[in-house]
Structure 1
Amino acid sequence: MGVRGRKPERRQGRGIRKHNRKRWIIAIVVSFVVLLVGGAGAIYLKLNANIATFDSAGLSKDRPAAAQADANGDKAVNVLLIGSDTRSGENGKLGGSKSGPIGRSDTTILLHVYPDHKHAVGISIPRDSLVDIPPCLLPDGKWSKDQPSAMFNSAYSMGNTEKGNPACTQNTVEKLSGMRVDHTMVVDFAGFASMTSAVHGVDVCVPNDIYQGDMNPNLGHKGKVVLHAGMQNLQGQQALDYVRVRHGVGDNSDVGRMLRQQAFLSALISKVKGQGMNPTTLLPLANAATKSLTVDPGLGSAVKLMNFGLSLKGIDLKNIQFITAPWKYAGSRIDLVHPDVDNLFAELRADRTLSGVNASGKKPAATPTPSARIDGTGIMVSVYNGTLKGGLAGKAGDILKADGFNVMNETNAKTHDHAVTRIEYGTSAGAKTQADTVAKLFPGAQLVQLDTTGVNVVLGQDFADAAAKGTTASATPTPLPTDLSKQARSADANPCSKLSYG
């Protein structure tokens, strides 16, 4: 009996030890989770502290309409990537300080991510190209005047500050493209060099030996080889030298240099995707980038930056393309070629890839038959000619009247520098629906909501060019020229191809 009576005590003791061991295990797990979460929180706080944002007050009050999300919440996203060549701080050691600290845009790429999130295209805009710069906010709180036919990279220098004026560049790109820029990211020399080191270098092709004299034409002699020809793994200063070098390669032009920048970005994207687009890969890259990164307020946190990066993981390398906006030499400067550049941006606004693929994520609508008619009954429209080509307002008015629209006015716009046709509509119920109906007659038009009555059509140079070709009011898109689409480079292209002009 005595032995039997002690058995429950032994069972109780084992139960206590098991309970204590369970509590000990739980405590370790909880402590580990706390440390893990706390560490991640510390990393995010560190990244957030690194990120600088620019003031959105400098964005234009006359912007293109934002892209509309579909039923699944998917929509196109436009991101403006700006490489600043400011020599302030650590940048002077990497790029030389003789140019002074004033921020200038050395590289500008408009990245268009299509609504299907399976295609993307980056449009390089030559820094010396002549464009119209709209009013921009200056450091003294005043707005600059319109600057027609100004050099593109002067937009970033508006105000002459070390930080530059990314909002002014964004305004300029929006006016040029007719597309709303959702996010803008500015990276300087130090940030770029750190990013390449964070991924342990990028494999790129150097077209020929690059010498010290190529990097610094004022050196006065050829000097030593800085970069050897052939495949090289570059990071830090060497990577920066590769994307900045202009002399000694091809025709020594800035547009040739942009081809190598596109090749480098393709290789960087390939490297990151190859390592796996996950927080483990992206956090070191984000830590390096954010130390020298300036973004719009909409990307002003580590979580937002990370989420944007992860949103691109489903895009195959072959469907990420780069192209330079159509250009031609104009003396020592560069002219953008119209209507080619307008057609290019129209394709993007219509969610079509460079090869004409529907990347909207929606099933294409049935092709209208010749007898198909757009019903404009009850919709009041005023037409304004925003170009120097005479007779366009009447021509557009006739097109609208043929489909039953009530055309109230046919006259000239206040300004005649509109590259892209815009359709303005009010805030009343049904105004957007009416504007969408009008837009069917003006493919590629930019829709803008304003405080107005009825619908206004402000004709741009794209309509003038289409009218000259006899292709106005067509629901069928005009494909891009074959030679233009062939100029595009995909992120999986041969790394030694298309590295220079000449």
Structure 2
Amino acid sequence: MTTSTSRRAAPARHRSAAGPRRRGSGRRGRLALGICLSLVLLVAAGAGWVYLRLNGDIKTFDAGGLSDNRPAAGSSKGENVLVIGSDARNDGNAALGGGDADDIGRSDTAFLLHIYADHKNAVAVSIPRDTLVTIPPCKLPDGKWTSARPDTMFNEAYSVGETEKGNPACTQNTVESITGLRVDHTVVVDFKGFAALTDVVGGVKVCLPQNVYERDLKPKLPTRGKLLFPKGEQTVSGQKALDYVRIRHGLGDGSDIGRIKRQQAFVASLMKEVKSNGLTPTKLLPLADAATKSLTVDPGLGSADKLISFAMSLKDIDLHNTKFVTIPWRYEGSRVAIVEPDASDLWAALKADRTLDGKDASGKKKATPSASPSTAPTAVSGKGIAVAVYNGTTVTGLAKKAAAELTADGFTVTGTATASSQDHTTTVVEYGPGHKVEAQTVARVFPGAAIQPVTADGVNVVVGQSYQGGATASPTPTAVPKDVADSARSADDNPCSNLTYG
């Protein structure tokens, strides 16, 4: 679908005060770097003494850069942790990843870890680096805020401000805008943290479908170079492990999507290694030290006490109940577009604490048969909310039909028109600065609709092909799309399964 439209006069779109966007030639996925935070938290559970060694190593980022226009706290019963893998070259990281030690901080892969309210299930949703999104206003180092940037690659959020430490708050703002979910905590892990973790556990088992050579890691080499990894199962650690998760060319279709799948398999194997080693003091302290020395977190996790308290809530999550998926996506040229309504259905399922197989993981007691819930949509009141409606399809009269439904719910419809493009597969609710709450109310009229910020003022509805209208509309779904569920990987899967990696 087209993710951004413009149908009426709006202020000229300005460039971010951050200056020209730079795209480094060495962009690399870092999913495996980030997920290690979850491992540290899990293994630290039940070992409170570790905090004495952790406190001095934990770094925090400025929470003043978080948006004032966030999803409501407690919008879901579970917790959401944004994990960012940084490829920053400062502080000794250049020796491991190459590149300029003075370059700006980048994050080419990130994922949202949803911890279900029953504390027995978890799912990590990867967001590809090249996903086209709207980066909402973000804070710059001088205290100024940027303008929203539509149709921008997701990984550019971390580089707003162009500092060597990156901008975790901007990435968090972007993820909250994409998902409509409140991010409870954000964590950044760098090269050193990842390499040290794999060393501490004694290496991680991986499995390759073919031989991998130096040129697969560095495509500009004139020859294929020496053999880095032979075909088949093997154990890697330190620099070798880092090279493994960085490689994109020479495996599968060579895409970043394929690399994400390989990184998910790597993290699953790492988790199994940690658990098989046992949660003994001898194993815990080196693991915790290795992670926290290269860890940057939000103030909510900025002490060992807070980290360990959070870890205690995760200790009952089983490997089989820890899943890895990728946000519903499709190619849009050389970039990636989010597929709707599948993505909205996924976020709705997580918000309702439904697992990938549709089970209720909210931790609530089941209702008695006589008290079964109704499937009827909740009534919506649009009093005081003005909306403009646009037809994003070739179906005649769809905008007027949607306008009539809005009017019946008390909304003030300021007009109807044809959208600038008619290829919308799903309905999109666009909102200007300060209107997100109204947009969320409008979206309740259009189950499965995407919500996205724009620079223009007010609230607009761009009706998509999925809109049926009136009584035929269904309530917001809580089932994960089948394609997403079928492609999920469990943390206990065999490392040699699904070796195509895209």
Q: CA 1:410–1:400 in 2, change beyond 3 Å: closer, same or farther? A: closer
Which string of whole-angstrom CA distances, capped at 9 and with x for unpartnered residues, describes residues 221-280 of structure 1? 111111222222221111111111111111111111100111111112222233445766
- Distance in 1, matches of 2:48 and 2:118, equals 31
Q: Which of 366, 374, 378 is the matching residue for 2:372?
A: 366
- Distance in 2, matches of 1:277 and 1:441, equals 50
2:290 paired with 1:288: yes
User: What's the % identity of the aligned pairs?
Assistant: 55
- Distance in 2, matches of 1:261 and 1:55, equals 29
2:385 paired with 1:382: yes
Which residue identity lines up with residue 68 of structure 2 in the other structure? K
Aligned equivalent of 2:66: 59
Q: Contact (CA 8 Å) 2:382, 2:411: kept in 1 or not? A: no
Aligned equivalent of 1:48: 55
Q: Which of 341, 344, 364 is the matching residue for 2:343?
A: 341
Aligned equivalent of 2:44: none
Which residue identity lines up with residue 337 of structure 1 in the other structure? V
Q: Contact (CA 8 Å) 2:161, 2:167: kept in 1 or not? A: yes
Report SS of the residue matched to 2:467.
Answer: helix
- Distance in 2, matches of 1:302 and 1:409, equals 51
Which residue identity lines up with residue 484 of structure 2 in the other structure? L
Which string of whole-angstrom CA distances, capped at 9 and with x for unpartnered residues, describes residues 159-208 of structure 1? 11110001111111111111111111101101111111222222222232
- Distance in 2, matches of 1:255 and 1:446, equals 23
2:416 paired with 1:409: no
Aligned equivalent of 1:489: 489
Aligned equivalent of 1:155: 157
Q: How does 1:171-190 map to 2 (within 5 A)?
A: 171-190=173-192
- Distance in 2, matches of 1:126 and 1:68, equals 25
- Distance in 1, matches of 2:195 and 2:55, equals 20
- Distance in 2, matches of 1:101 and 1:237, equals 21
- Distance in 2, matches of 1:360 and 1:328, equals 31
Aligned equivalent of 1:198: 200
Report SS of the residue matched to 2:310.
Answer: helix
Shift of 1:309: 2.8
Aligned equivalent of 1:80: 82
Shift of 1:317: 1.6
- Distance in 2, matches of 1:459 and 1:65, equals 22
Q: CA 1:215–1:386 in 2, change beyond 3 Å: closer, same or farther? A: farther
Q: Contact (CA 8 Å) 2:356, 2:485: kept in 1 or not? A: yes
Which string of whole-angstrom CA distances, capped at 9 and with x for unpartnered residues, describes residues 326-372 of structure 1? 22222222222222222222221222122222222223672427xx6
Report SS of the residue matched to 1:219.
Answer: coil
Larger Rg, first or second structure (1 or 2) = 1
Aligned equivalent of 1:256: 258
Q: CA 1:412–1:270 in 2, change beyond 3 Å: closer, same or farther? A: farther
- Distance in 1, matches of 2:99 and 2:270, equals 27
- Distance in 1, matches of 2:494 and 2:358, equals 23
Aligned equivalent of 2:467: 467
Which residue identity lines up with residue 384 of structure 1 in the other structure? V
| Structure 2, unaligned runs of 5 or more | 1-46, 452-457
Q: Contact (CA 8 Å) 1:339, 1:465: kept in 2 or not? A: no
Report SS of the residue matched to 1:241.
Answer: helix
Q: Contact (CA 8 Å) 1:104, 1:154: kept in 2 or not? A: yes
Which stretch shows the higher mean deviation, 266-275 or 89-98? 266-275
Q: Contact (CA 8 Å) 1:385, 1:393: kept in 2 or not? A: no
Shift of 1:419: 7.8
Which residue identity lines up with residue 130 of structure 1 in the other structure? L
Aligned equivalent of 2:324: 322
Shift of 1:144: 0.9
TM-score computed with the length of structure 2 as normaliser: 0.75
- Distance in 2, matches of 1:469 and 1:499, equals 44
Q: Which of 89, 92, 98 is the matching residue for 1:90?
A: 92
TM-score computed with the length of structure 1 as normaliser: 0.75
Report SS of the residue matched to 1:65.
Answer: coil
Report SS of the residue matched to 2:350.
Answer: helix
Which string of whole-angstrom CA distances, capped at 9 and with x for unpartnered residues, describes residues 459-500 of structure 1? 767x84542488865347364443332111111122112344
Q: CA 1:88–1:467 in 2, change beyond 3 Å: closer, same or farther? A: same
- Distance in 2, matches of 1:220 and 1:234, equals 26
- Distance in 1, matches of 2:389 and 2:84, equals 30
- Distance in 1, matches of 2:239 and 2:306, equals 29
Which residue identity lines up with residue 382 of structure 1 in the other structure? I
Which residue identity lines up with residue 49 of structure 1 in the other structure? G
The root-mean-square deviation of aligned C-alpha atoms, in Å, is: 3.8
Query: By percentage of residues, which structure has more helix?
Result: 1
- Distance in 1, matches of 2:86 and 2:485, equals 28
Report SS of the residue matched to 1:171.
Answer: helix
2:308 paired with 1:306: yes
- Distance in 2, matches of 1:356 and 1:366, equals 17
- How many residues are matched? 434
- Distance in 1, matches of 2:238 and 2:297, equals 22
- Distance in 2, matches of 1:346 and 1:313, equals 26
Report SS of the residue matched to 2:118.
Answer: coil
- Distance in 2, matches of 1:134 and 1:440, equals 22
Q: CA 1:445–1:114 in 2, change beyond 3 Å: closer, same or farther? A: farther
Q: CA 1:58–1:473 in 2, change beyond 3 Å: closer, same or farther? A: same
Q: Contact (CA 8 Å) 2:75, 2:351: kept in 1 or not? A: no
Which residue identity lines up with residue 67 of structure 2 in the other structure? S
Which residue identity lines up with residue 60 of structure 1 in the other structure? S
Report SS of the residue matched to 1:384.
Answer: strand
